[in-house]
Structure 1
């Protein structure tokens, strides 16, 4: 049990990659709080659903206080919540830009700013920001999304330096998935996915479990000497 006795928060935990991360962590002994805009419905033992918006700072303060009051500590934070509002630059509205930045970038800042001091005080913790291959290489029609996913990599590197200066063993890393075979991806036609597979060295899409396992590694003590790193899990994809 690689996370036995740990308390972990996973944002965007209602579905997709976030849900699989939450279930994987619980299977490794963690008590997991899965957070989303709508309360995640879990039957998995060890996972507790919680409704909260990462853009709502007052709501997040109440959420963190509730988790600490109930479980006593926060050992792991997975910043996974994210949205897309795609469009070419000339077609992207200010609303599309602001909404993606608020959720994907400011939301990560909001929750980490509340959780990190608790981890520093207890002297240990692990934070993983879920980025994207798009954040590493950019993508047509995703100026806002790419900017936010690059931003969470930069924030992780900055926080890793800040927390190490304070002498706490609080590690901060990011994980950049490629194209993953989630329920949403299953609705995309093969004529769109085939070129992606062709650009991927392993010739296929990734599975959510493969992202969850990589996230588990970074969150666990197995990665005790890794901080400030971005782990690319994309099958060798180059956009």
Structure 2
């Protein structure tokens, strides 16, 4: 069974589902044109630096509502994530684009990657499918965590403009149910999976005209720091991930998605 609809999601829709646990990934697609020596207001003023500016804004909006994916326990994150979504929806430097919500049947974990890749309606389907597939834990010490939200914050630097923007922010949410055995092994039962994609275009002129103000409000970070910040770590959770193929930067830490046990 498969349902699909394209829509503009209202702010109230972000509160419709609250799982027991939430896992996050930070993703970047496209070419990072940021000058590695740029800092302060230059990150926001010059369009070539806007990949880093966008990551800095998203990281800053997250910290303003106490959303720290790389260090927070999964059980705490559903509420703080919703507050983060509200921040993104109302940030004046972003505008809403048509979003997408789909429901489809997945019979077992091995089908999840293909189901996400086949139903994700935008160009970065392979990267998103890999990220979602890797976020399903192999083991879980807390069997009370049953309803899971697998989320990704994606920044895509386009090769050509789409409408009025060259950078798109996507908030991706995949809702799944997981069962845990007495030994802590996670089982993925046959289920209806819902995938929601909220998309926002970056308004370059707003970033440019508010460069000084945004430089004071947001700590400027590079794209790699943004993706690391948005990626959940097994160090702070009662579960362990499948091994990752994505090679996330460590920033002095172990790769968060390679902390797993046989």
- What TM-score, normalized by structure 1, do the two folds share? 0.28
Structure with greater proportional strand content:
2
- What TM-score, normalized by structure 2, do the two folds share? 0.26
Bigger RCO (CA 8 Å, 6+ sep): 2
Structure with greater proportional helix content:
1
